[in-house]
A and B are shown apart, each in its own frame.
Chain A
Amino acid sequence: MKKRWKTALTLGGVAMALAGGLVFAQMRSGAYGSTNTASIGQVAAPEFAPDAKYDVGPYPSFTPELAEGEGKLEVQSFCATCHSTRYISMQPPLPAATWEAEVNKMVKTYGAPIPEATAKKITAYLQAHYAPENRKE
């Protein structure tokens, strides 16, 4: 039994090291990923004066990259007047008719001052990049 273990270890040693982790019958260990996708920096505690002003400072921006394409500039300048474009990328892929209704709602119900031709361009952009058929990121 002892000899068999020794043989196994010699044979396995190289392979296991290359595999990035050690493997024994009862466990697997030593595997680490190479990326750090989940890291978030810490934030320093604020300094306060004992006056009547209670201020928490600016709220950070986390603005996503929008898909490249005709109409992106219009989306960034008009839609972002009221809200960050994360309102777009946060949505599930939506059918063309839903995007059209959303843009109409922004103009008619919320009063967004978007010229008609620009609104059409914005709608076409959203339909071309954020619909079930074409949504990538």
Chain B
Amino acid sequence: MERMTHNVSRRSALKFLGAAGGGLALAGWAHAGWAWAQEPNGGKPLETFTGPGANPHWNSVGPYVTEPQKAPLILLTDRPVQLETPRHYFRTVFTPNEAFYVRWHLGEIPNGVDLAEWKLSVEGNVNKPVAFSLSDLMQKFKPASVAAVNQCSGNSRSRLQPRVPGGQWGNGAMGNAMWTGVRLRELLDAAGVKSGSVQVQFEGLDTGAGPKGMGSNRFLKSLDLTNAALDETIVAYLMNGEPPPMLNGFPVRLVVPGYFSTYWTKCLSWIRVLETPDDNFWVKTAYRIPDTPRGTTTPEDMKAGKVKTIPIGRMPVRSFLISPDGSSKIPAGLGVTLRGIAFSGYGKVVKVEVSDDGGSSWRAAELGKDHGAYSFRGWQAAWTPKTPGRYSIAVRATDEKGNVQPDEPVWNAGGYLWNKIEKQELVAGKAN
């Protein structure tokens, strides 16, 4: 209310200034002064929701909140917790733990863990079930490290048209960390996988209020034992050289390089070797994508029951402009540096290209240090807006398998796999 009053009085003051402007014009300098009397259209609170059109912002629109062990992050939901990483944290290729996005499925997520009691069990179709304490994991196995991007399957879901229900993420449901821990295969070997086993199932400490046997009660994910991704999988007790925050899976979380985060079980406590394929809700029904190129389909084909689905797997190639982010105007003729990140779940990013005409013409950006095939790869490109105007900066990446980011959208009912070329408008002003 106070704010309204203030705005009104400010507006009348501006009107008065307008009247005064006529007189001032005689004084010869008022023209420039009057141009300033228009308040720049900034500093206003963001809308509280977006839609039915696509979310036009880089991040989602929720408020900043502070959760335990976390810097202020963007709130999607508070119970269970879902938090998005603000754009500026991607200026570095390793995402700080306190800024790393958070996504839980079930309401009863751990607040605390007693390491005197806690064990990681390897059980099921094995010769000798074993359970390891955190100190066992730290001392009995040679540590292995991998730099890997963790991205939510629904990252950028708020871009889809028509919109689909689910976590309305902008682009910040992703992060990159150096993960250190024990190789999954060594843990499986310690228990001895029996012949005839088909899958390995992962479960963490989170539970839900729903009835037993339902997806609302337990969150379970499984991968085929023959999946090559398991050879690179780590049970991580370090995230960027520190214990992971509770919200990111303390004391250990699964790291499946190249795969979407749905498989990266947090607070991992049970590894189960299965004789028959897992048919629980989170494998059989949820996190499935159309078995089509890019996993895209239409609402019509979905309704008609024409779409065969498969479990989601590797992450398609993506790239992002992180700065400049459009929050500042750039004087024409001033050279600036376009900076960002790129990654692919299919292998190393080998090329990043930028465009300042919305994707009509492209030139190569300089790639940053190679931290491994599954890490964010930094990129930069010098850019000078020669004349004042609006520039549409676009960025696209290519991975070592030859996958190139397309400029076409993706649509599927889950809101997964978005990897359309990102564009950012930058405004160049006159420099004199």
Contacts and interface: CB of A to CB of B under 8 A. Distances in A.
Interface in B77-131: 77-81, 106-107, 109, 111-117
A43 B216 CA distance: 32
Given A90-B49, A90-B77, A90-B168, A57 B111 contact: yes
A68 interface: no
A61 B30 contact: no
A49 interface: no
A12 B67 contact: no
Given A19-B17, A83-B107, A112-B210, A40 B72 contact: yes
Contact of A61 (B78, B113, B158, B216): B78
Looking at B14, B77, B80, B106, which has the most chain A CB atoms within 10 Å of its CB? B77
A40 B86 CA distance: 15
Interface residues of B, number: 74
A56 B66 CA distance: 13
A92 B158 contact: yes
B115 A52 contact: yes
A90 to B, nearest CB: 6
Interface string B1-35: 01100100010011011001001100111101100
A93 B51 contact: yes
A94 B163 contact: yes
A4 interface: yes
Nearest to A132: B52
Interface string A42-64: 11001000011111111111110
Interface in A55-98: 55-63, 81-84, 86-87, 89-94, 98
A38 B106 CA distance: 29
A79 B372 CA distance: 44
Interface string A94-137: 10001000100000011111000000000000000000100101
Nearest to A46: B68
Nearest to A81: B209
A111 B216 CA distance: 7
B298 to A, nearest CB: 15
Contacts of B64: 38, 40
A58 B245 CA distance: 14
A110 B215 contact: yes
A33 to B, nearest CB: 6
**Interface of chain A: mostly helix, strand, loop or mixed:** loop
Contacts of B79: 59, 61, 83-84, 86
Interface string B297-315: 0000000000000000000
B285 interface: yes
Nearest to B285: A109
Give the dominant DSSP class at B's interface.
loop
B52 A137 contact: no
Contact of A23 (B2, B33, B106, B210): B33
A74 B84 CA distance: 29
Interface residues of A, number: 63
A58 B111 contact: yes
B114 A53 contact: yes
A20 to B, nearest CB: 6
Given A82-B107, A90-B168, A7 B27 contact: yes
A34 B2 contact: yes
Contacts of B62: 90
Contact of A18 (B13, B109, B214, B247): B13
Contacts of B55: 92
A63 B78 contact: yes
A12 B29 CA distance: 11
Contacts of B81: 59
Contacts of B109: 59
Contact of A93 (B10, B24, B52, B217): B52
Given A82-B106, A82-B209, A86-B75, 13 more contacts: A5-B29, A8-B24, A18-B16, A23-B33, A52-B116, A54-B246, A55-B111, A55-B113, A56-B112, A60-B66, A63-B78, A86-B77, A91-B51
5 contacts: A12-B20, A40-B66, A57-B111, A98-B165, A111-B210
Interface of B: 2-3, 6, 10, 13-14, 16-17, 20, 23-24, 27-30, 32-33, 36-37, 39, 43, 45, 48-52, 55, 62-69, 72, 75-81, 106-107, 109, 111-117, 158, 163, 165, 167-168, 208-211, 214-217, 245-247, 250-251, 281, 285
